A and B are shown apart, each in its own frame.
Chain A
Amino acid sequence: MTARTTLASRLRRVTLALACGCATLSAVAADITPYLQTPTANSIWVSWKTAEGDESVVEYGVDGGPLNRTASGATQTLAATYRLHGVQLTGLQPETLYSYRVRTGSQLSPVFRFRTQPTAARKSGHFRILVTGDHQLRNDDRHTPLLQAAKAKIQALTGQPLEEAVHLMLNNGDQVDVGTLDHYEFVHMKPSAVVSGNLAIMTALGNHETYYDPGLANWRAHNFYDGISYKGLAAAADESYYAHQVGRVLLVYLNSESNFAAQAEWLRKVVAAANVDPDVDWVISVVHRPYQAEQYVGDISQWFRDTAMPILAGTRKHALNIGAHHHLYARGQTRDWPTYHIISGGTAWDQFWGQSTERDMDDVQKTIANWTWQLIDFDLDARTMKVSSYAEGHPKLGFAYSSRLVDEFERRLDAAGPNRPELTGSADGAVVTLPHGFTLSPFQSPSGMALNSTQFQISRDAAFTSTVVDLIRDVENVYGDTGAPDYEPVDIHAGVDIETYTVQPYGLNNGSYYIRARHRDANAEWSPWSDARSFKVEGSADGDPALRLAKKVWAPGEPVVIEYMNGRGKAKDWVAVYRKGQTPGSASPSVKWSYVSGISGQLAFSGLAAGVEYYVAFMTDDSYAEIAPRMPFYVGDMPELTISKTQFNPGERPAFTWSGAPAGAKDWIGVYRVGQTPGGIGSTTWAYTPTEAGSVTLGALNKGYYYAAFFINDAYFEISERVPFAVGSEIASVSLVKTVLASGERLDIRFSDGPATAKDYIGVFRKGATPGIDLLVAYYYVDGRAGGSLSPAEALPDGEYFLALYINDSYTEVSNRVDFTVGAGGEPEPDPRVFGVAGNLIRTGDALSVNWSGMPGNAKDWIGIYRSTQTPGSSSPSVLWRYAGGAAGTASFSGLAAGEYYVAFLLNDGYQEAAPRVSFTVRKRGDINGDGRIDIADRDAQRAALGSCEGDARYQPLADFDADRCVTQADYRLWYALFTKQ
């Protein structure tokens, strides 16, 4: 039993006693505001912080009567002057108002009121939830005014006190900037005091909660989530994800930072249970990193988007996903499911248009860089949910708004979707010339809903598997703002007829196509697709106009050969070379140019200056209208970039050498994950390379496939070959949306962090097969992608299988395996066999944490630690071992000397291994750079990582000695102690 469990059980032993006037001598401490959480129809947790005193007492009673009941709980001493008190009130009546105050010795809070939750039997009236987002600022409290405004607005709207109008408040992570007690007190609890005495607050784990808080100790101390359970599916052991039912709403809080494999399995069970639960009408998911974002593009939870959301879509009850992480408001609908997603980004660090990489996403309807809060209003009779977003401020203007309504949308569970539309614009099989428009018949909703979106698809085939156009447009598309001085949102779809799609001149090449379209209503429901129509395009191009260069770096003096294709065929079509940064136009003449001859051909340009970045453009009819994507190139020497080795352990720092470089002051080497595009996302680690030749050791890297390249002029043009390398083993991740499939059902596969080589494939084998020896049942190329999804058209025969990702047409497995069954009907799904370690690079003195699940569970199954050169057997005893003691569990091994090892799971006191071995390294504590010594080079490595936290490029886990996931002067002190003691 953990200390936390012990505490929880102690806290549950609440003493109820009739009492009255027992604190008449106490002084009211107005600065003690209780914090309510984990409410049910019959209970609620009350917590509060004091600087001293061990008494934890709540005096309470039905509202309007005396505080004639007393409950006591326990006190956690988290620091010398930080006592956290927790008391659970039980035996309460549903939907009942209670009054209470808390007491620690002579310190007494004012009296507050709260209302208990309804039971699932309540099917009439309103159920409301208040949502606020990130508020991690330590020294600029914007959350208090936001909450004050929300409270006032809700009370004005409903005419009721907050605790009678609203049932619950949600926070979706980053309620602190770092997970220290100081931040829990001053960044989270203090601003939350506007409502926390009256309204229970539930939170999702953000990335900032994980900083400075090893083991999430402070998170778990402040949140009483360990007792939460839905249909026997308990919260995670670290309380980082949980499913909490209130009334007829199931709130699923997810952890977008870690624990993905176990969490996905847990989520699958939660969704399956909720889907058939007659007491749950609504499922709302809450996760910190969002599903999609139009600013800081790519900074989302790819795990949630690719894995968790498809699992949640397993029930049509999943109506809303709430994310944060971005400090603004955004709303959209998933492309395929009737599920809304929002970002409720709160009031944290300023985020505004023009600050980051931005892209208009078709599954986001609006992004508004405002400080907002949301009110979710369920009408239980009508089975509807309305979400209203109110803005209070803007990062450039401060609190300039007064609860301005910036968005409102709804979901009606029982409303029928729109009628099937028809397409007009051409007869089936018509020959068309471009431009040509296709129009949908008028939108018709039997439920009376308004039109929200349309989708047009044009494909080369009738099954629409080879689409060339896939366009979703909403009636509004709020993207960007008007800038200073007002920063008003801009609707870039204003005046756009979304029911007509016009193929512009040369928008399609000559050939045959199929088109279909559909409507979506303001209830997120799609109509059926229109009947598909075929058409043939004539008079257009035979292919897309394009430019091609044989290489992108040309030696000084070498003619640059440019190939052009599929031009417009006009006599005055021309190709021109410009310096990077120039804009074609009469005021900015090209460096070189020439008319083309015919629609395809080749041109060569000589005399281009060396050391310069250029691009080539393809324009038509003596105009500056470009008809093909520009192609950048560079004239100059091509540097040679090499790496010390191509396979690293996590935490190791890669060393690079270069020669033949231009020696520009702002030239640089950058390291990216495979699949990332430089410029679209920040590099993982980098360094300037201002000399013609040299070497550099970059920051430590987490597990993954990477490449390094040489860039020039502080920008993203690569002038070297990419140098691929890998950190760690079994890097890629593969999952299935469903692991128990009916006969004939198609697989839905998700993969990420792959090596992205040309012939990587997902291989499917029969259960128990050995890849390379037993035949593949099926294989699916991933088309050189590092991540994504695929759903093969052909279903597999009934049977038991596993699949994994294999690299480059080999049988080298680079991902986890996923077991699955086809045609298993309702048979229970066996737990997947999982065997791993918490970290495969540890230091002497650290314990190796081993975890496993899905094992056979024999009494004599055991775990052995071996040197990497050993083979398990009676003649080669393990370094350490112990019995597993169950099909699932964890074990800790200490006292390992520096060296290379692996851990094996072995069966029945024998040497048969039940799972692939897991390699790990033990490095001498303090030897950060791995050279076998503790010296000034390690001090330099430690200092280079100073101030960084996990997730930062500079973060070096081997320099983090206090395991708080950040490197600080406290770690320097611990390192220095090792240095002086050696």
Chain B
Amino acid sequence: MMIKTLVAALIAAGTLSAQAATVSLSGNAAASVGQTFSLDVLLQQPFDGERAGDELLAFGMDLSFDGSLLRLLGVSLAPAWSDDSAFTGVLLSGSAFPGVADEGQGALTLATLSFEVLGSGSTSIALGSDAAGNFNHGLIYLMSPTLDVQATHALALSVPEPGSYAMMLAGLGLLSLAVRRRG
């Protein structure tokens, strides 16, 4: 269902504006089992085209990834943003007061996502919004229409080299301890 939503959002995003701001995920393209890594959620060209001179007030996006390969450790919003996820129920949800004004920024960092690698293989992490179905979704500007976004980040997850086994075993040990405690 999530994939269907993202596809719909992609179509919608394409139709809303030909010169739209875009969201991307920036960070590692590869990681090893047991490692943790971070990805920045970047908003590229936030005030291009019809959004010139506007203010960005809020954003909301859902996250999709393979839970058998990755575990989300945390979401940290950039300093300008108040974390609204507890209010809206949307995983990536923030608002700013005052809004973030157009000062010619080429890109804005919205948030940083932290993951732990659980298994190996090729996978991807996707972000998306569905503003028509959820009024807490999308990039919400003061004057311009709300913009749906989507982004995908490909990842190659591998078993660590022999030299890394000691580190990995230590990580697995901690992990099993945590699992036992939860149980």
Interface residues in chain A, defined as those with a beta carbon under 8 Å from any beta carbon in chain B = 79-80, 138-141, 180-183, 212, 936, 939, 943, 946-948, 962, 964, 966, 968-970, 972-973, 976-977, 980
Contact = CB atoms under 8 A, between A and B. Distances in A.
Interface string B86-121: 011100010101010000000000000000000000
Contact of A180 (B95, B133, B136): B133
B82 A943 contact: yes
Nearest to B62: A139
B21 to A, nearest CB: 16
A182 B130 contact: yes
Given A973-B142, A980-B142, A947 B99 contact: no
B148 to A, nearest CB: 12
Given A139-B1, A970-B135, A976-B99, A947 B140 contact: no
Interface residues of B, number: 26
B46 interface: no
B58 interface: yes
Nearest to A51: B11
B15 A946 contact: no
A973 B57 CA distance: 7
Contact of A968 (B55, B97, B135, B141): B135
Given A969-B60, A972-B140, A946 B97 contact: no
A968 B135 CA distance: 6
Contact of B132 (A79, A140, A962): A79
B82 A969 contact: no
Contacts of A947: 84, 87-89, 136
Contacts of A182: 130, 132-133
22 contacts: A138-B133, A140-B1, A180-B132, A182-B133, A212-B135, A939-B97, A943-B95, A946-B95, A946-B136, A947-B84, A947-B87, A947-B136, A966-B135, A968-B134, A969-B84, A969-B95, A969-B135, A969-B140, A970-B135, A970-B136, A973-B57, A976-B99
A977 B142 contact: yes
Given A180-B132, A943-B82, A969-B136, 7 more contacts: A183-B133, A946-B87, A948-B87, A962-B135, A968-B134, A972-B58, A973-B140
Contacts of B88: 946-947, 968-969
A948 B89 CA distance: 10
Q: Which 10 A-B pairs have the closest CB atoms?
A: A182-B133, A968-B135, A946-B87, A947-B87, A969-B58, A970-B135, A947-B88, A139-B1, A969-B140, A939-B97
B128 to A, nearest CB: 13
Nearest to B146: A970
A809 B112 CA distance: 64
A180 B137 CA distance: 14
Interface string B34-46: 0000000000000
B175 interface: no
Contacts of A939: 97
A796 to B, nearest CB: 54
Nearest to A940: B97
Contacts of A180: 132-134
Contacts of B95: 943, 946, 969, 972
Interface of B: 1-2, 15, 55, 57-58, 60, 82, 84, 87-89, 93, 95, 97, 99, 130, 132-136, 140-142, 146
B57 A972 contact: yes
A969 B132 contact: no
A693 B149 CA distance: 47
B183 to A, nearest CB: 16
A68 to B, nearest CB: 38
A47 B89 CA distance: 33
B46 to A, nearest CB: 16
A180 B60 CA distance: 17
B140 A970 contact: yes
Given A180-B133, A181-B132, A973-B58, A946 B142 contact: no
Nearest to B135: A968
Contacts of A969: 57-58, 60, 84, 88, 93, 95, 135-136, 140
A184 to B, nearest CB: 11
A139 B4 CA distance: 10
Contacts of B15: 80
A140 B1 CA distance: 8
B13 to A, nearest CB: 13
Nearest to B130: A182
Contacts of A977: 142
Contacts of B142: 973, 976-977, 980
A939 B57 CA distance: 12
A139 B2 contact: yes
Nearest to A82: B132
Nearest to B8: A182
B133 A968 contact: no
Contacts of B136: 946-947, 968-970
Contacts of A80: 15
B80 to A, nearest CB: 14
A557 B84 CA distance: 47
Contacts of A79: 132
Nearest to A967: B87
A80 B2 CA distance: 22
Contacts of A962: 135
A357 to B, nearest CB: 24
Contacts of A972: 57-58, 95, 140
Contacts of A968: 88, 134-136
A969 B146 CA distance: 10
A501 B57 CA distance: 68
Contact of A943 (B87, B89, B133): B87
Contacts of A212: 135
Nearest to B82: A943
Contacts of B97: 936, 939, 976
A964 B134 CA distance: 12
A79 B82 CA distance: 31
Contacts of A976: 55, 57, 97, 99, 142
Nearest to B94: A969
A977 B99 CA distance: 11
A185 to B, nearest CB: 9
A139 B89 CA distance: 14
Contacts of A140: 1
B7 to A, nearest CB: 13
A245 to B, nearest CB: 37
A892 B97 CA distance: 35
Contacts of A139: 1-2
A225 B88 CA distance: 34
A101 B99 CA distance: 52
A887 to B, nearest CB: 41
Given A943-B87, A980-B142, A964 B133 contact: no
A140 B15 CA distance: 28
A972 B84 CA distance: 12
B54 to A, nearest CB: 11
Contacts of A943: 82, 84, 87, 95
A80 B12 CA distance: 10
A939 B58 CA distance: 13
Nearest to B58: A969
A468 B31 CA distance: 73
A181 B135 CA distance: 12
A141 B135 CA distance: 22
Nearest to A185: B133
A182 B88 CA distance: 18
Contacts of A946: 84, 87-88, 95, 136
A947 B15 CA distance: 27
B135 A964 contact: yes
Contacts of B60: 969
A964 B89 CA distance: 18
A926 to B, nearest CB: 13
A951 B182 CA distance: 35
Contacts of A141: 1
A972 B99 CA distance: 11
B2 to A, nearest CB: 7
A481 B2 CA distance: 35
